[in-house]
Structure 1
Amino acid sequence: MLAIQFDRFGGPDVLRYVELAAPVPSPGEVLLTVEAAGVNFADTHQVDGSYLGADALPYVPGSEVVGRTPDGRRVLARVSHGYAEQVTAKESAVLEIPEDLGAAQALALMMQGLTAWHLLRSAARLREGETVVVHSAAGGVGSLAVQLAREFGAGRVLAQASTPEKERLALDVGADAVAAYPLAEKADVVLDAVGGDLFDQALGSLASFGRLVTYGNAARSGFTPVDPARLGRLNASVVGFWLRPALAAPGGVSGPLKELFALAGEGRLRPVTGGSYPLADARRAHEDLLARRTTGKLILTP
């Protein structure tokens, strides 16, 4: 089978289109023929070696796919090594989906939807009426977080994005206004996947008992030191978040995913879909993502 693999860390240029042996499912697993693989920002961190969890090389990235089981079921699945024509998945990590549901929409609700859900529920512990600022609000996670914050009772949702076009997209999915630092109003919750200067500006804009949730470093600028004395003066907190242990916790997947699909089915949650790339063009997908040329959910199609 054909797959995307890297055998050293670096930028997107380390990704190679290679022929590999087809995977063999272990007991409790099922073999899937991949219809589409989701692209996530975490994949770029795996490729350049900055991901929180170390993986042995060579490595095929990709944590989610839409695919077919041998008996013809169309499913959404959490996987390892999803950038491939075939992949194995645990039966417990497979969810049957309708034929008329687009692959990009389904994949948006998996890793990015679960990230947005846990950012607000598990990490920020959002309370009704609070003001939320979402950085990278036109991205896959950000655009869902804007909508979920409203669903979960936020009083106001402010969107930060890198271009006027992306700001308009964030407003279109439900943000009340564009966030520009220094904020005109203090924020109770800020969701930040960028880091660098934006992290520092956000920290200084927190209300008393505010929470800045950091879940990435898209700026690739190194992590900003946090002075405990400054947190004391602000009467605020910085919360780190990583999706992998959140998914491993009891109830970390099934309940949130059920809620996400229910909201989408009712038309109250609209996944934003971005580009679709041939599997062989995974390098270009990563380059576009890193250059912030994309919005919404990106997918690879074998």
Structure 2
Amino acid sequence: MQAWQVHENGEPGEVLRLAEVARPTPGDGQVLLKVRAANINFPDVLMVRGHYQVQPPLPFTPGVEICGETEDGRRVIANPALPYGGFAEYAVADTAALLSAPDSLDDAEAAALHIGYQTGWFGLHRRAGLEAGETLLVHAAAGGVGSAAVQLGKAAGATVIGVVGGAEKAAAARESGCDVVIDRRAEDVIAAVKEATGGRGADVIYDPVGGEAYAQSTKVVAFEGRIVVVGFASGTIPSPPLNHALVKNYSVLGLHWGLYNTKAPKLVQHCHEQLTELAARGAIKPLVSERVPLGGAAAAVQRLADGVTTGRLVVIPGLTEAGAA
């Protein structure tokens, strides 16, 4: 089979190599899956660079989220067991963690439903307790993680403000359902949020960016607001002064979704049931901006690393160059 492999850490476009390798052999409690679609996530970028908190041994195949097919023909969503990741024709996953792919979504959409939407659901509902009528501010609202949070916020009855960088991303954020879109390249984010909220600020702020985005969040969070820290796509990890949280009376909440897989797996299943229901009634739908063939995976991962993408980029092994879109 064909699979992308990393033999040394570096930039995805430089170190990913497409190779002909043997199909992986599942271990105890695992299953071999035919990859129907593999969603590209920022952790894939970090793993290739050697910067992720979990680093598989070299060589490895990245791809942490797939829609796959079992030997008996079931469509499932899975997080492949590295080093046999999803940027390949076949991957391996833990049998106990398989989730049914919703009938309402195609393969590419199903592949993008799991990590980003589970992170959004846990962040907004389990951690922040988002309520109908509240205002949600989402940084990087045009990206895969951000667009999922936007849709989940709208489904929960919140007013959603999205912060993006550039006109193209502003259009994607509106498509995802943002009530207000702020282009950080053309507007003063702090002033725009205050204007949109009548000076009150946002009740919940969803931040997968860190750095300057987090600093802005502390200036526009409402009384009893909650800032959910999801990641640091900017590459800068903030060191917040806690006296500021005390004086303004807001909460800073960390979210490491992966921990729920080991510490509370039943909650992951419950969340998937909620997401499946939302997808069935059209309240959420992954924004897939590109479907790329297996041969285009390295270039697509590099585009995500460069921050020039909107929505989700999904690798489809059975897709030809002519069918890519």
Query: What are structure 1's unaligned runs of at least 5 residues?
Result: none
Aligned residue number for residue 133 of structure 1: 137
Aligned residue number for residue 165 of structure 2: 162
Task: Give the whole-Å Cα distance in 2 for the aligned partners of 1:181 and 1:264.
Answer: 33
- Does structure 2 conserve the Cα–Cα contact (< 8 Å) formed by 1:118 and 1:246? no
**C-alpha displacement at 1:149, in angstroms?**
1.0
Secondary structure at 2:114 match in 1: helix
Write the mapping of 1:54-73 to structure 2, written as runs, cut at 5 A. 54-73=55-74
Secondary structure at 2:258 match in 1: helix
Any idea what the Cα deviations from partners look like across 1:125-146, whole Å, max 9, x if unmatched?
2233221101111112211211
Task: Give the whole-Å Cα distance in 1 for the aligned partners of 2:141 and 2:69.
Answer: 32
Could you tell me which of 299, 304, 310 is aligned with 1:289?
304
1:73 partner amino acid: R
What is the TM-score when the length of structure 2 is the normalising length? 0.86
Write the mapping of 1:18-57 to structure 2, written as runs, cut at 5 A. 18-57=19-58
**C-alpha displacement at 1:197, in angstroms?**
1.2
Closer/same/farther in 2, CA of residues 252 and 18 from structure 1, 3 Å limit: farther
Task: Give the whole-Å Cα distance in 1 for the aligned partners of 2:65 and 2:71.
Answer: 18
Write the mapping of 1:208-247 to structure 2, written as runs, cut at 5 A. 208-220=223-235, 222-247=236-261
Secondary structure at 2:3 match in 1: strand
Secondary structure at 1:10 match in 2: coil
- Does structure 2 conserve the Cα–Cα contact (< 8 Å) formed by 1:67 and 1:76? yes
Task: Give the whole-Å Cα distance in 2 for the aligned partners of 1:100 and 1:191.
Answer: 27
Aligned residue number for residue 188 of structure 1: 203
Aligned residue number for residue 323 of structure 2: none
- How many residues align structurally? 300
Identity value in percent: 39
**C-alpha displacement at 1:47, in angstroms?**
1.5
**C-alpha displacement at 1:115, in angstroms?**
1.4
- Does structure 1 conserve the Cα–Cα contact (< 8 Å) formed by 2:45 and 2:301? yes
**C-alpha displacement at 1:38, in angstroms?**
1.3
What is the TM-score when the length of structure 1 is the normalising length? 0.92
Secondary structure at 1:21 match in 2: coil
Closer/same/farther in 2, CA of residues 194 and 115 from structure 1, 3 Å limit: same
Write the mapping of 1:9-20 to structure 2, written as runs, cut at 5 A. 9-12=9-12, 13-20=14-21
**C-alpha displacement at 1:174, in angstroms?**
1.9
2:89 partner amino acid: E
**C-alpha displacement at 1:98, in angstroms?**
6.4
**C-alpha displacement at 1:242, in angstroms?**
1.8
Task: Give the whole-Å Cα distance in 2 for the aligned partners of 1:99 and 1:124.
Answer: 30
Aligned residue number for residue 115 of structure 2: 111
Task: Give the whole-Å Cα distance in 2 for the aligned partners of 1:152 and 1:101.
Answer: 20
Task: Give the whole-Å Cα distance in 1 for the aligned partners of 2:75 and 2:233.
Answer: 33
Matching of residue 201 in structure 1 with residue 216 in structure 2: yes
Task: Give the whole-Å Cα distance in 2 for the aligned partners of 1:65 and 1:84.
Answer: 10
Query: What are structure 2's unaligned runs of at least 5 residues?
Result: 183-188, 318-325
Matching of residue 146 in structure 1 with residue 155 in structure 2: no
2:251 partner amino acid: S
Any idea what the Cα deviations from partners look like across 1:141-167, whole Å, max 9, x if unmatched?
21121121122232x210111122222
Task: Give the whole-Å Cα distance in 1 for the aligned partners of 2:53 and 2:137.
Answer: 25
Task: Give the whole-Å Cα distance in 2 for the aligned partners of 1:280 and 1:75.
Answer: 23
**C-alpha displacement at 1:40, in angstroms?**
0.7
- Does structure 1 conserve the Cα–Cα contact (< 8 Å) formed by 2:102 and 2:276? no
**C-alpha displacement at 1:172, in angstroms?**
2.7
